[in-house]
Amino acid sequence: MRKLIVLDRDGVINEDSDAFVKNAEEWIEYPTSIKAIARLTRAGYTVAVATNQSGIARGHFGHRELEAMHTKMIQLVKAAGGDIAHIAYCPHGPDDGCDCRKPEPGLLHQIQDALQIPDFDGAWMLGDSLRDLVAGQKAGCRAALVMTGKGQKTLADGEGLKDVLVVANLADFTNRLLDGELNHEPSEGEPGKSQRSCNGCEAAAESYL
Ligand SMILES: [Mg+2]
Ligand SMILES: [Zn+2]
């Protein structure tokens, strides 16, 4: 089991904007998400970010502005006692045919290379859009949909969510993960089995942490 959480950025860690988040001033964190990343770090989880930033290809901002946003994000996370191990971003547009723009799994593979891990066994990908979840699942992550950002719209659309865990936000996910609620991976033979009533769950939670 890999103690690795991959996060989409906009709508998960910070407020999303239909007009693009273009500079550090416009990058507004969800304070509960910053605290959640710190809790995950302290619990021994590696946290990475995989983010589509087509605003670069579209000319809304440049690499320097993006770097300033990420400096702000990392400073906030570090001040809270957490860490982000790697940020992978796609600067391309939808028509560039790249292999990194989610729902393609290229950003996940970049994270895999940067962290030198063989696979995403037991890792989670959290996002507010279907393409985040698809990218994560293609790479072998379990997927969770947050209700922040575009999450409610993604849930209402309802497509592709069969194997997706729905959580309120990153803090809710973190609570459930650290409570041991998410350790049990339901196998094919036991669909929908309550994780709380699973006999092996307590032991699994201990070995997981
Ligand atoms: Mg997003
Ligand atoms: Zn790309």
Residue 113 placed within a domain = yes
Total domains present in the chain? 1
Q: Specify if 199 maps to a domain.
A: no
Confidence at residue 186, expressed as pLDDT on a 0 to 100 scale: 52
Q: What is the CATH number of the domain that holds 38?
A: 3.40.50.1000
pLDDT average, residue stretch 67-75: 98
pLDDT digits (tens, 9 = 90+) for 97-132: 999 999 999 999 999 999 999 999 999 999 999 999
Q: What is the pLDDT of residues 162-181, one digit of tens each?
A: 999 999 999 999 999 999 99
162 inside domain: yes
- Per-chain mean pLDDT for the chain: 91
Which residues crowd ion ligand 2, with CB under 5 Å?
90, 92, 98, 100-101
| 12 alpha carbon, closest ligand | 1
Query: Is residue 8 domain-resident?
Result: yes
- Residue 194 belongs to some domain of the structure: no
Q: How far is the CA of 59 from the centre of ligand 2 (A)?
A: 15
Pairing state of beta strands 4-7 and 142-146?
A: unpaired
Is 171 within a domain? yes
In a domain, 149, yes or no: yes
Q: Please list the active-site residues.
A: 8, 10
Give domain status of residue 72, yes or no: yes
**Ligand whose nearest atom lies closest to the CA of 153:** 1
For 86, counting Cβ atoms within 10 Å of its Cβ (0-12 exposed, 13-18 middle, 19+ buried), the class is middle
pLDDT tens figures, 5-14 = 999 999 999 9
Domain that holds residue 156: 4-178
pTM value is 0.88
How many angstroms is it from 127 CA to the middle of ligand 1?
Answer: 6
